Amino acid sequence: MSLSVYVHIPYCIQRCRYCDFTTFEQSKIMPPQDYVSLVLQEIRQRQSLVLERQIRSLYFGGGTPSLIPAELIVSIVEELAKCGFEFDSNCETTLEINPATLNPQKIEFYLKAGFNRFSVGAQTFNDRLLKACGREHSAQDTRETLGLLNQMELNYSFDLLFALPGQSLEDLREDLRETLDFGPKHLSAYCLTVPESHPMALGRAPEGEQIEMFELIEEELKGQQLDKYELSNFAQRGRESLHNLSYWTDQSFWGLGLSAHSYLREPGWGVRFWNPKGFSEYQDQVQVRAKQPHTELLDGVGPYALLPSAQKEILKAHEALTDFCHTRLRLKDGLSEDAVRIKWGRPAADSLSLRLKSLRKSGWVESFDNDRWRLTRQGQILSNQVFLALTYLASDLERLEPTVV
């Protein structure tokens, strides 16, 4: 089994108005070199707790990782190698970038260190909308960054944000036209999500129009062989994000840095753990615990003794099954009843089958390839309701207990 690693770099030039990621204006917090040195300590401190040693994808997200010195980012890759992690020969290594934060020298440096994918937080080519979002870059910055990536023949993904305040279908069509002219091989399309009370909720397209927007995106991208392989992600064949796929296909991932989440498939039904969102708490946890010997930390209760109980969750069978159904149904490849039978036993697979058949009557899911199920168009629009119907309680599996493996 191989591992995916996520590293959170919580620095931005300024905060966008809609952002709810853990990220801060660079000038207001701990200098990046101090933060990175904590991440290096975290790797050393917890590395022996992660059983999988072979890394299949490495993703630097944030925040704006391209904002801090490239040497700091690369020192994290080097620390993983020093601690005995090995990288697959085709390990997907991605850096999230914002327009106007890279130059050819920096890119060369990343390429030498093994980076082979960039994810560009472009959002829109409309300067009026960029300003409304509080984005720091201009459309021209995006054009120059994409031009540079194309000139160097690099693999990149484009982040598109839609249903912005005052954005019309025509504005979106214009964004898509310009985006596709650059020819990204991967694109993530996100509908702006803010609470109704948020100032950016004013002037957004109503729900019906948001659906039309999504349909327009799908249609335009299909014409460029950008196939929808997940609810919000499109790619040319073979350019799907290995890293993101690991989140949706029950693979272990290790999250490093502020607020980063981890999931390990083993032991038992799997375990989730996460880091705090505040610098001082993160620093305390990394520094104080680094002084404790591992043997003491591991004593009797497994690796998760490292973490306060509010930062970990040892999954039960019904929680693991719920996660499995929700994540698989996001994918075009869908959910396999057989995979559920192998991991949770026949009674659980039969119970799932009954629920799916009932959802099929509502027109929200459809079956294909004998044992597989996927969301219909209607089901994609109402995915939250489908997921609710496929949320298992402990009592649901208790009834099946004697044969649950």
Which residues of this protein are in contact with ligand SF4, per CB under 6 A? 12, 15-16, 19, 21, 23, 62-64, 98, 121
CB of 336 to ligand SF4, least distance (A): 35
CB of 11 to ligand SF4, least distance (A): 8
CB of 156 to ligand SF4, least distance (A): 16
CB of 16 to ligand SF4, least distance (A): 3
- Give the dihedral sign, CA 285/286/287/289: positive
C-beta separation of 260 from 274 below 8 A: yes
CB of 277 to ligand SF4, least distance (A): 13
Q: If residue 24 lies in a helix (H) or strand (E), which one and from where to where?
A: strand 24-25
| DSSP characters over 260-319 | -EEEE--STT-EEEE--SSHHHHHHHHHHHHTS-HHHHHTTT-GGGGS-GGGEEE--HHH
Distance CA 146, CA 216 (A): 23
Measured from the CB atom, the residue of 22 and 45 that comes closer to ligand SF4 is 22
Distance CA 79, CA 76 (A): 5
What six digits make up the tokens of 127?
Answer: 């300067």
Non-local CB neighbours of 62 within 8 Å, separated by 6+ positions: 8, 9, 10, 11, 12, 21, 23, 96
CB of 103 to ligand SF4, least distance (A): 18
C-beta separation of 53 from 169 below 8 A: no
Measured from the CB atom, the residue of 58 and 200 that comes closer to ligand SF4 is 200
CB of 242 to ligand SF4, least distance (A): 22
CB of 145 to ligand SF4, least distance (A): 13
Number of C-beta neighbours around residue 105 at 10 A: 8
Measured from the CB atom, the residue of 259 and 391 that comes closer to ligand SF4 is 259
Distance CA 2, CA 252 (A): 7
**Could you give phi then psi for residue 61, rounded to 5 degrees?**
-125, -175
**Could you give phi then psi for residue 66, rounded to 5 degrees?**
-70, -5
Measured from the CB atom, the residue of 63 and 270 that comes closer to ligand SF4 is 63
Nearest to 175 by CA among 162, 156, 166: 162
Measured from the CB atom, the residue of 194 and 339 that comes closer to ligand SF4 is 194
Measured from the CB atom, the residue of 144 and 250 that comes closer to ligand SF4 is 144
Strand 11-12 and strand 24-25: the pairing is: parallel
Measured from the CB atom, the residue of 98 and 252 that comes closer to ligand SF4 is 98
Measured from the CB atom, the residue of 127 and 215 that comes closer to ligand SF4 is 127
CB of 27 to ligand SF4, least distance (A): 14
C-beta separation of 80 from 43 below 8 A: yes
Measured from the CB atom, the residue of 156 and 229 that comes closer to ligand SF4 is 156
Measured from the CB atom, the residue of 25 and 71 that comes closer to ligand SF4 is 25
Strand 372-375 and strand 335-336: the pairing is: antiparallel
Measured from the CB atom, the residue of 64 and 188 that comes closer to ligand SF4 is 64
Which amino acid does the sequence have at 40?
L
CB of 13 to ligand SF4, least distance (A): 8
CB of 64 to ligand SF4, least distance (A): 5
Distance CA 99, CA 64 (A): 10
